Structure 1
Amino acid sequence: MNTQLLERLAHAEAAAHTRYGRTGAAARFGPLVAVHAGPDLPVNTAWHDGTRRPTPEELAAFEAFSVQHAQSATVHLLSAFTTLLPLLRDRGYELDYVLHAYIHDLANLPAQPLTQTREEGADAWAALAAQGFGPGAEAIMSVVAHAPGTRRFVADVDGTPAATAAFSLTSAVAAFHGTATLPPFRGRGVQSALLAHRLHRAAQAGATLASVFVTPGTGSERNVERAGFRLAGMRLTLSRRE
């Protein structure tokens, strides 16, 4: 595990997290960057920025922010910073889930994809992405689509929209997200094409590193491995139990 690399990734993710506060609120509590984007949204969390341990007072202030906005106190941290776990556990935090963190050096790019890929407006992209993710995804996809700095892409198959993907660029790190394939087009390689397309676009935009978080053991993980991403660590998500 490359601690310096994960520190860079944590810093970029925490800085980018504030984009989701556009529709609600964002606040910093020492090394924690917290967001409330709207009721019951999965981005209503805090990111640890990879610098230092939060103090008990900073954690208490973050927890008060969470209570104020009627959301659980939820923290993302990367696996280089597991020394924070005893502190969080003492305050009642428990592990919710783990994602694998992958990175790609943009000095080495795959071949340009042949699939027709284009950029899309926020509203149209959000509607397509929600179709890929399924019922109930409309609100969060709208927040993601309209977040400042989001680059939104759609892959077409035979002239029909087939899949969505996005990235945002912070501190020369391109964070890939918003990946969804509409049901009729699954298993046809469109997500692999969108990964390659975004790697080229991110490099053109000045990124030197791309990152993506995926659920372990899924088709998405196999796709990012085939696209040349390498495993850098894990993202741990913990929530405070009342």
Structure 2
Amino acid sequence: MPLFPDLLPHLSRAEAQAHRRFGRAATFGPLHAAYAGPGLPLNAAWHDGTRPPDAGALAAFEAFCAEVGTPPTVHLLSDAVPGALGVLGARGYALSTLLHVYAHDLTALPPRAEVEETHDAEAWATLSAQGFGAGSGPTMQVVAAAPGTRLFVARRGGEAAGSAALSVTGGVAALFGMSTRPDYRGQGVQTDLLAARLHAAAQAGADFASVFVTPGSPSERNIRRAGFGLVGARLTLSKTGPGGPDGTSA
């Protein structure tokens, strides 16, 4: 599919800006942090794809994390790794998660799907947590309530079967929060949710749509079938040593 030559930097800028919606926000050089609540995986900083973070920016970010009581965690896309990895590694950051990054150019879209958009954030979060599993409820409540988040529900036989979310920032339509209730898996729920959000993204005037996915998962297969192309990876690095998840400080 046709792609922007600067797609990954464009995506990094949009994700860094959008990430600030999820809670108490702060900026440290190219790092855009948010604290959403105790123990939530949303507590992290996004690298905005510009210059590498320097030691001063990282020290300030780490002080912010110590203040709110969360391990220092940084998300960055694969094109930024060569410049940022050295300073991050020197401060004790190590890779904790890798996701594949896919994009869709919004010109050749799959057929429309019968999916409803809802404004009931509480019901959506409850449904989403049924798909993601135990312990995901608080995170999905934050996601559902974030400004600019659009919420979608797919049904089977009149019953809510799956959920997903969409936000558009800086021309990038971010597709996220997709889950299917266990009893409805294998019935095309994710396919419908992907198609519906691609059409919504196009109608909103986005330049392209993006999604992050676990490599080799069933969701990755569904994303490929929907016409997305692999464009890179999202790396998550967490600080080890004193004050980090493997250190001795609380």
TM range (shorter): over 0.9
Match of residue 7, structure 2, among 5, 8, 12 = 5
**Are the aligned partners of 1:3 and 1:80 in contact in 2 as well (CA < 8 Å)?**
no
**Are the aligned partners of 2:98 and 2:233 in contact in 1 as well (CA < 8 Å)?**
yes
**Are the aligned partners of 2:115 and 2:152 in contact in 1 as well (CA < 8 Å)?**
no
Please name the residue that 2:88 is paired with: 88
Correspondence 1:52 to 2:51: yes
Q: Secondary structure at the match of 1:198?
A: helix
Please name the residue that 1:181 is paired with: 180
Please name the residue that 2:18 is paired with: 16
Distance 2:116 2:4 in 1: 33
Distance 2:186 2:149 in 1: 26
Please name the residue that 1:217 is paired with: 216
Please name the residue that 1:121 is paired with: 120
Distance 1:120 1:137 in 2: 20
Please name the residue that 1:77 is paired with: 76
Distance 1:116 1:97 in 2: 31
Structure 1 residue 116 displacement after superposition? 4.3
Query: What TM-score does the superposition give when structure 1 sets the normalisation length?
Result: 0.96
Structure 1 residue 77 displacement after superposition? 0.4
Q: Secondary structure at the match of 2:41?
A: coil
Task: List runs of 5+ in structure 1 lacking aligned partners.
Answer: none
Structure 1 residue 2 displacement after superposition? 7.3
Structure 1 residue 117 displacement after superposition? 3.2
**Are the aligned partners of 1:117 and 1:194 in contact in 2 as well (CA < 8 Å)?**
no
CA deviations on 1:151-175 (whole Å, 9 max, x unpaired) are 0000011100000001111011110
Cα 1:178–1:102 change in 2 (3 A) is: same
**Are the aligned partners of 1:202 and 1:210 in contact in 2 as well (CA < 8 Å)?**
yes
Q: Secondary structure at the match of 1:132?
A: helix
**Are the aligned partners of 2:115 and 2:193 in contact in 1 as well (CA < 8 Å)?**
no
CA deviations on 1:2-21 (whole Å, 9 max, x unpaired) are 76110000000000000001
Please name the residue that 2:203 is paired with: 204
Q: Structure 1 residue runs of 4+, over 2 Å off?
A: 115-120
Structure 1 residue 119 displacement after superposition? 2.5
Task: List runs of 5+ in structure 2 lacking aligned partners.
Answer: 242-250
Instruction: Give the paired residue count.
Output: 238
Of all paired residues, the percent bearing the same amino acid is 56
Amino acid at match of 2:152: F
Q: Could you say what the CA RMSD is over the residues aligned between the two structures, in angstroms?
A: 1.2
Q: Secondary structure at the match of 2:87?
A: helix
Query: What TM-score does the superposition give when structure 2 sets the normalisation length?
Result: 0.93
Q: Secondary structure at the match of 1:41?
A: coil
Structure 1 residue 118 displacement after superposition? 3.4
Q: Secondary structure at the match of 1:125?
A: helix
Q: Secondary structure at the match of 2:14?
A: helix
Structure 1 residue 205 displacement after superposition? 1.2
**Are the aligned partners of 2:54 and 2:87 in contact in 1 as well (CA < 8 Å)?**
no
Q: Secondary structure at the match of 2:21?
A: helix
Distance 1:101 1:93 in 2: 21
Amino acid at match of 1:86: G
**Are the aligned partners of 1:2 and 1:232 in contact in 2 as well (CA < 8 Å)?**
no
**Are the aligned partners of 1:95 and 1:239 in contact in 2 as well (CA < 8 Å)?**
yes
Amino acid at match of 2:8: L
